[in-house]
Amino acid sequence: MIVELIANGVCAFAGAVAFAVLFSVPRHFYIGCGITGAAGWCVYLILEEYAGLSAAIASFCGTLVVVLLSRMLTVRMKCPITIFLVSGVIPMVPGAGIYYTTYYLVMNQLGMAASKGLEAVKVSFGIVLGIAIVLSIPRDVFQKGYWKQLKYHRKKKNILN
Amino acid sequence: MRIQQVKDNKIQYLDLLQFADPNEEALEKKLDTMDLFLLKEDGVIKTICAVRFRKNRKCEILSIVTMEEARGCGYGKYMVHYICEHYSDRCDELYVGIGNCRKLLGFFEKCGFSNSHILAGYFLKKYKEPVYDDGIPLTDMVYFKKRLEAEIDIKKVVDVALEAGRILLKNGGEIFRVEETMTRICNRFHIDQVDIFTLSHAIFVTAKSGEEEVYTKVKNVPLSGTHLGIVAEVNSLSRAISAGRMSLEEAQKRLKEIDKIEPIHPGVQIIGAGFASGCLGYLLGATARESVVAFFIGCILYCWVLLARRYHMSKIISNIAGGVIITGLALAAREVPWLAPVQLNGMIIGALMPLVPGMAFVNSIREIADSDFLSGTVRMIDTLLVFVYIAIGVGLTLSIYHTLGGIVG
């Protein structure tokens, strides 16, 4: 299991970097893209394969991780969030679902086609929700100064009390 | 580095100002009529500056202090620069009165001030005790002045902002980033009333400054490829502009340079597409052997994608043909004896991935999450249609093969 996980992680890293190349991302962001991609996919894999959750929930959680990581990296490297977001999310985009839907349609197995198609839709909604939720967290939370200030205020309160 | 104007509770900064003018009462009296500016870096005050209006479109710097540990870093110069710009629409001349101290004289000369007049014996008359600066007793007050440049042309500013917006939108920037960048640029050059309306392929902007001068422009931005490197460049440019590190002309020049940045070399992109296909194929359940085949199919597919892009083919053609190419190649690979055993599913799914419109998908979600339903739905439909086209291409080939008697699956 661990070997498989590592192999998947490496592949997700390489895949995310490859997509970064396709979108002409500057070179010094490659590592960040790879890390978001690998982390998101590992979470997805663990939840889907080993914990036995449905693909939709797994992709939701995977997306959560991807968006969180990309928001942190964005603040750190001062660049648009899209750079990390797109290459991180892409492994979870239901490309396989589309293929299987078409495949079963061609084979005239309409029941299977419908179930595969619905699953692809569900996975998409998982991704949509994941992105929407994390993006609605205010920007300040990801700034370095925010937590320092919070700590400082807490200390001040304690002293006053 | 940020400069903010203090509106209320100015008195708490009094002891900071006193460093430059030990006459506390005189300062306190002026406190209500003066404007106070703070330059902060990482939330720490570095420089503080007090300015007062005079008659006939003139203003005067009463006091400017940079914290002792932050001197020599250019904060003071930056502050003076900011003050000049801030008052340029309301005043023609900026004055500053300083003691006969060589350091300060040098500083203001560097900032572009020139001699105005001297109040002889000012310090002897006003202050009971002698005032020292750098060990020299101060006697005369030397006044410096600077002519403030005329207002920046509103048209020029809007043009630069619109150009930045166009480049962003063209290369895959989000709607809100386009609007934010344009607003930032306009505000930085003192155009405060800007209305921007952005669609997925057009920008409308109206700017109004001061009197009755209104300037409107519409720009059509045709959909084209994604280049996130350019988006990142424009983003850092907009940061530099709003931090005040860049003038309008510099920004214009830089934008032209950015617009000419070439995408990554096609050969590298083709290899990249191959890796994307192979790796994602493996993740989505292909065997190692199938992933290697998917790598090559992905490379060939991307050659087609680049070709279609160069000749501006419509998305319908390029994606349907892409699907056909992938499936055809995968079917062919199955017939090669020394590749066996390979299955169709793994190869096709892997090779499909470079066609998947991830960028449009993610952007559409983000815009819908931002309640920008118009642009969001347009991009969502774009995504869905591309998915449908790919499916048509794959399905078409598979069904033809099936009808001809081949075994699919």
Residues of B with Cβ-Cβ distance to A21 under 8 angstroms:
264, 268-269, 271-272, 275
- Partner-chain residue, chosen from A19, A80, A101, that has the shortest CB–CB distance to B235: A80
Three-state DSSP at B185 gives helix
Written as one letter, the residue type at B1 is M
A81, closest residue in chain B (CA to CA): B232
Residues B306 and B359 in one domain: yes
d(CA A18, CA B302): 12
The answer to whether the Cα torsion of B158, B163, B164, B169 is positive or negative is positive
Question: CA of B349, closest CA in chain A: separation in Å?
Answer: 5
CB of A65 within 8 Å of a chain B CB? The answer is no
Instruction: Give the integer Cα–Cα distance in Å for B296 and B387.
Output: 22
Query: In this structure, is residue B377 part of a structural domain?
Result: yes
Contact (Cβ atoms closer than 8 angstroms) between residue B319 and residue B393: yes
Nearest residue of B to residue A25, measured between CA atoms:
B229
In a domain, B408, yes or no: no
Q: Which residue among B231, B264, B275 sits closest to A15, beta carbon to beta carbon?
A: B275
- Is there a contact between A86 and B349 if contact means CB atoms under 8 Å apart? no
Residues B292 and B251 placed together within one structural domain of the fold: no
Burial of B175 (0-12, 13-18, 19+ CB in 10 A): buried
Which stretches within B31-74 are classed as H helix? none
Amino acid found at B268: V
Cα Rg of chain A, angstroms = 19
- Give the pLDDT confidence score for residue B305 in this predicted structure: 92
Contact: A96, B269; criterion CB under 8 Å: no
Contact call for residues B167 and B259 (beta carbons, < 8 A): yes
Query: How far A54 CA lies from chain B's nearest CA (Å)?
Result: 15
Residue after which a domain boundary falls, among B193, B225, B259: B259
Domain boundary among B147, B172, B190: B147
Instruction: Establish if B158 touches chain A: CB-CB under 8 angstroms.
Output: no
Distances (CA, A) of B169 to A90, B11, B229, B232, B257: 21, 46, 13, 12, 17
Residues B87 and B108 in one domain: yes
Residues B270 and B253 in one domain: no
Number of CB pairs, chain A paired with chain B, less than 8 A apart: 160
Query: Which residue ranges in chain B fall short of pLDDT 70?
Result: 19-24, 89, 134, 149-152, 210-212, 409
Helix (H) or strand (E) holding B307: helix B288-310
Report the C-alpha gap between A113 and A118 in whole angstroms.
8
DSSP-derived secondary structure letter, B140? P
Which amino acid is residue B233, in one-letter code? E
Based on the number of CB atoms within 10 Å of its own CB, is A25 exposed (0-12), middle (13-18) or buried (19 or more)? Answer: buried
Task: DSSP for B356-383, please give it.
Answer: S-HHHHHHHHHHHHTT-HHHHHHHHHHH
Structure ipTM: 0.86
What is the distance between the alpha carbons of residues A125 and A123, in angstroms, rounded to a whole number? 5
**Mutation test of the interface with chain A: which of B261, B265, B283, B291, choosing the one with the most A Cβ atoms within 10 A?**
B283
Q: Are the C-beta atoms of B246 and B253 separated by less than 8 Å?
A: no
Dihedral sign for Cα A30, A36, A39, A44, please: negative
Q: What is the pLDDT of residue B210?
A: 65
Quick check: is B49 in a domain?
yes
CB B188 within 8 A of CB B239: no
> Within a 10 A sphere around the Cβ of B132, how many other Cβ atoms?
12
Range of the domain at B93: 2-147
For residues B355 and B390, the answer to whether their CB atoms sit within 8 Å is yes
Tell me if the pTM is above 0.90. Answer: no
* pLDDT confidence of residue B211: 66
- Residue A131 C-beta-side C-alpha neighbours within 13 Å: 25
Closest-CA distance of chain B to residue A11, Å: 5
Is residue B360 domain-shared with residue B232, that is, in the same domain? Answer: no
> How many other CB atoms are found less than 10 A from the CB of residue B286?
26
Residue A26 to residue B282, Cβ atoms within 8 A: no
Task: Give the list of residues 6+ apart from residue B370 with CB closer than 8 angstroms, or none.
Answer: B175, B176, B376
The answer to whether the beta carbons of residues A25 and A46 sit under 8 Å apart is no
Q: What angle do CA B206, B209, B210 make, to 5 degrees?
A: 145
Do residue A99 and residue B369 have CB atoms under 8 angstroms apart? no
B21: nearest Cα among B167, B114, B137, B127: B127
Q: How far is CA B238 from CA B206, B247, B263, B309, in A?
A: 19, 11, 21, 29
What distance in Å separates the CA atoms of residue A66 and residue A38, rounded to the nearest whole number? 9
Residue B99 and residue B117: Cα distance in Å, rounded? 12
CATH of the domain at B142: 3.40.630.30
Contacts of B352 in chain A (CB under 8 A): 95, 98-99
To the nearest whole angstrom, how far is the Cα of A101 from the nearest Cα of chain B? Answer: 8
- Domain termination site, one of B259, B287, B319: B259
Q: Is B381 within the bounds of a domain?
A: yes
Residues 199-238 of B with CB under 8 A from A: 226-232, 235-236
Side chain identity, residue B291: S
Interface check A26 vs B, CB under 8 A: yes
Provide the domain count of chain B: 3
Report yes or no on B214 lying in a domain: yes
> Chain B within 8 Å of A136 (Cβ-Cβ)?
yes
Q: Do residues B194 and B270 both lie within one domain?
A: no
pLDDT at res. A69: 92
Cα separation, A92 vs B10, in Å, equals 54
Residue B151: per-residue pLDDT: 53
B110 and B203 housed in the same domain: no
A98-142: pLDDT as tens digits: 888 988 888 888 999 999 999 999 999 999 999 989 888 887 777
Q: Residues in chain A with pLDDT < 70?
A: 160-161
Same domain as B163, residue B70: no
My answer on whether B102 and B38 are in the same domain is: yes
For residue A19, what is the nearest residue in chain B, using CA coordinates?
A: B276
Sign of the Cα pseudo-torsion (A19, A22, A23, A25, in order): positive
pLDDT given for residue B409 in this prediction: 62
> How close does chain A come to B320, measured CA to CA in Å?
13
Cβ within 8 Å of A, B 22-81? 42-43
How far apart are the CA of B264 and the nearest CA of chain A, in angstroms?
6
Residue A94: per-residue pLDDT: 85
Cα(B335)–Cα(B103) distance, integer angstroms: 85
Domain assignment present for residue B304? The answer is yes
* AA letter at A60: F
The two tokens of residue B82 are 């900011």
Same domain as B49, residue B27: yes
Nearest neighbour of A79 by CB, restricted to B232, B345, B349: B232
Residue B180 and residue B298 share a domain: no
Q: Do B283 and A78 touch (CB under 8 A)?
A: no
Interatomic CA distance for residues B75 and B58, integer angstroms: 24
Question: What is the distance in angstroms between the Cα of A72 and the nearest Cα belonging to chain B?
Answer: 16
Residue B272 lies in a domain: yes
DSSP-derived secondary structure for A12-51: HHHHHHHHHHHTT--GGGHHHHHHHHHHHHHHHHIIIIIS
pLDDT of amino acid B24: 66
In sequence order, the 6+-apart residues with CB closer than 8 A to the CB of B130 are B123, B124, B137, B138
Q: Which of B353, B371, B398 to mutate to test the interface with A (most CBs of A within 10 A)?
A: B353
A131 and B284 in contact by Cβ < 8 A? no
Query: Does residue B96 fall inside a structural domain?
Result: yes
Q: Collect all residues of chain A within an 8 Å Cβ-Cβ radius of residue B285.
A: 96
Q: What's the DSSP call for residue B128? A: S
Shared-domain flag, residues B274 and B250:
no
